[in-house]
Amino acid sequence: MADDFSSTEASSLVDTVFREEHGRLLASLVSQFGDLDLAEEVASEAVEAALTHWPRQGVPDRPGAWLLTTARRKAVDRLRRDRVLALRVAVLQAELERTELVAPSSEVSDFPDDRLQLFFTCAHPALPAEARGALTLRCLAGLTTPEVARAFLVPAATMAQRIVRAKKKIREARIPFRVPASDELPARLPGVLQVIYSIFTEGYVASSGATLQRLDLADEAIRLAWILHRLMPAEREVTGLLALMLLIHARRDARTGPSGELVLLQDQDRNLWDRELIDDGQRLVARSLSGGPAGPYGVQAAIAALHNGADDFATTDWPQIVALYDVLLALEPSPVVALNHAVAIAMRDGPEAGLRLLDELAAEPRLRDYHPYAAARADLLATLGRLAEAETAYRLALRLAGTEPERDHITRRLSALRTQMDDR
């Protein structure tokens, strides 16, 4: 045990440990007890116990293992109160007594990773597709409800209701938390890929907070994708997703300045890009695009490879990027893909062409509160000299932006725009 320390320090450490171990902790508990609600409740109780005991007794050498063991004991205590489950409790108690204090990530499983195993488990076909992803992101990936809502471009209240309904269906329909057999994995794979990419996206651009990026989430998503790639090497979309994340993550050091400010792609110092990750990503892109028609992640990875392969922003192959977005729109039409397609059109054919496409998306409800849409429209309006309209669009983007670096960037744009308007 570590030395005693203050309750404030304990609270901070518990929060850090719980955030890092949350997914693995729940994965272990759900695997053992088969009940998501129970797992969440006893995990929370374990955190409360840590807040009480750690300031007095010191921090355990392996705090994640302490939380797991405490949560298990609380789960057994709860189950013991139900006489119908007496036999099951006896078996679980025996297992607990035989088990050494082991960190959640160290537990042995036929599946290569506890968290990834539960991602597949939650991708149950009895649940609606969006509910599967939402539930996994909220409960197992540790994202907050607003962060999950952002991944699906819906209001936070809508997402909260969706998660509650998914849990209710699991409980009422008695959907088992059973590790799917190997022949079930391909059917559940798209949902798992969506979850991993949503975790990465929250790491690439956080929903809120003082910093633009959450590198811990991006690193975790890439770790899971590597495991999945080794598990299913013939699945080209797994390869495509891994390639996409590596190519985007390669730019991480250039995406913010010395003070954490946002640096756009066209302004980034490409010498800061991680060439090793780019090489790995480009190799995987080629593999994901061979052997048959390309999938959505493979196409997105090819787009990222074109950006990373350009010597500078001016020499980017925009015609080829537009062509790839045309393919992507046919494969997976979505408002965000349509937005990115419009921006690429603006780069190839000029701001008026891009703005026409953006205006066609104005009625899309999922873009109404999506700040990149307002910001892209503002940039094109400003380029065209429609300064008053651009100011309105920038103000909307400022209101919708989630992180401080994004808000600071838009504020600087607004300031420059006002100077330009004053000079007229």
179's tokens: 């590790």
What pLDDT is attached to residue 118? 76
The CA distance from 204 to 379, in Å, is: 22
SS (H, E, C) 216-260: HHHHHHHHHHHHHHHHCCCCHHHHHHHHHHHHHHCCHHHCECCCC
Q: How many other C-beta atoms can be found within 10 angstroms of the C-beta atom of residue 46? A: 24
The CA distance from 196 to 137, in Å, is: 9
Q: How many angstroms separate the Cα of 284 from the Cα of each of 242, 299, 391?
A: 8, 12, 42
Query: Dihedral sign, CA of 168, 174, 179, 183?
Result: negative
Three-class DSSP category at 310 = coil
What pLDDT is attached to residue 92? 53
Q: Which residue has the tokens 């729940």?
A: 26
Beta carbons of 354 and 345 less than 8 angstroms apart: yes
The radius of gyration of the chain's CA atoms, rounded to the nearest angstrom, is: 24
Q: How many other C-beta atoms can be found within 10 angstroms of the C-beta atom of residue 250? A: 22
Q: What φ, ψ does residue 211 adopt, rounded to 5°?
A: -120, 155
Beta carbons of 346 and 379 less than 8 angstroms apart: no
Q: Which residue has the tokens 């937005």?
A: 339
What pLDDT is attached to residue 83? 52
List b or e across 92-113, with b for residues whose CB sees 16 or more CB atoms inside 10 angstroms: bbeeeeeeeeebbbebeeebeb
One digit per residue, the tens of pLDDT, for the chain of length 424 reads: 445 555 666 666 666 666 666 767 877 787 777 777 788 888 888 888 888 888 888 778 888 888 889 999 988 888 777 655 555 555 555 555 544 434 443 333 456 777 787 788 778 888 887 788 888 888 767 788 898 888 888 888 999 988 888 888 777 777 766 778 888 888 899 999 999 999 999 999 998 889 999 998 999 999 999 999 998 999 999 999 999 999 999 999 999 999 999 999 999 999 999 999 999 999 999 999 998 888 999 999 999 999 999 999 999 999 999 999 999 999 999 999 999 999 999 999 999 999 999 999 999 999 999 999 999 999 999 999 999 999 999 999 999 999 999 999 999 999 999 998 887 7
The DSSP output letter for 295 is: P
The CA distance from 280 to 243, in Å, is: 7
The CA distance from 149 to 166, in Å, is: 15
Rounded to two decimals, the pTM is 0.81
What pLDDT is attached to residue 394? 96
Q: Which helix (H) or strand (E) holds 22?
A: helix 7-33
Q: How many other C-beta atoms can be found within 10 angstroms of the C-beta atom of residue 91? A: 9
What pLDDT is attached to residue 165? 85
What pLDDT is attached to residue 48? 85
Q: How many angstroms separate the Cα of 217 from the Cα of each of 23, 203, 205, 206, 222?
A: 12, 5, 10, 10, 9
